[in-house]
Amino acid sequence: MAQLFRGRAESDGGRALEKELQALERQVRTASPGYETQFLNRAASLCVRAGEPRRALGYLGRAIDAYLESGRFSAAEVACNKLLEIAPNAVRARCTLAWLSIGKGYRASTEREISHYVKAARRSANETLAAKQLRMMAEAATSADLREVIADHLLDLGDSEGADLVFGRVYAERNGLRRERVADEGELWARLLRAALMGPQELKAQSGSGDSEDGGADVLPSL
């Protein structure tokens, strides 16, 4: 009898959750751009409390994309960390945090976020896609020191060609053979947004070859 009542309670709880989630989805659809995130976050919290963390990840992922698209980068960072509390090895969240850190400027935390991303990518056997992202990060980063760190990671991922390109550019800049990278904040954040929103299939489509205006390979997507 106790088992019967427990099963009924669980069923009622499941129906209540679905009802709440459906209501939140309606609010997401009718919300003004940028305001849907409050409902997505609420849905994620409901799923966590209901013991359905995998569903929560989907809502958080949508919230992160919405934050990025509306330029709310600090909120996107908070949502990424919230997602990682549920799934510490989530590759895309790690990648987004690395891009956001690059956008803030070179600091110790940038190296750490990139390292966390590479480790997560290797654990999930996504080395090839990670190498493509790192090449793009090297294109966007203005710090020569950071680009050398990225090149080291490219070597670890087996992308010796990409590492050679990055090391070669840094060497040329430091020896006056190539103009030094000049920071353009607007362009950097545009590249960050484009790369952070790029899905696996779109990333796979990036060629990883081709010539940029200054003679180096440029795997960045068109902006």
Q: How far is CA 158 from CA 123, 153, 164, 168, 209, in A?
A: 15, 9, 11, 17, 16
Contact in structure between 95 and 196 (CB atoms under 8 Å): yes
Per-residue pLDDT of the chain (223 residues; tens, 9 = 90+): 545 444 444 566 678 999 999 999 999 999 998 899 999 999 999 999 999 999 999 999 999 999 999 989 999 999 999 999 999 999 999 999 999 999 888 788 999 999 999 999 999 999 999 999 999 999 889 899 999 999 999 999 999 999 999 999 999 999 988 887 766 777 777 877 888 888 777 777 764 433 333 333 333 332 2
Residue 28's contacts (CB-CB under 8 Å, 6 or more residues apart) are: 36, 39, 40
Q: Nearest Cα to 138, choosing from 166, 171, 168, 164?
A: 166
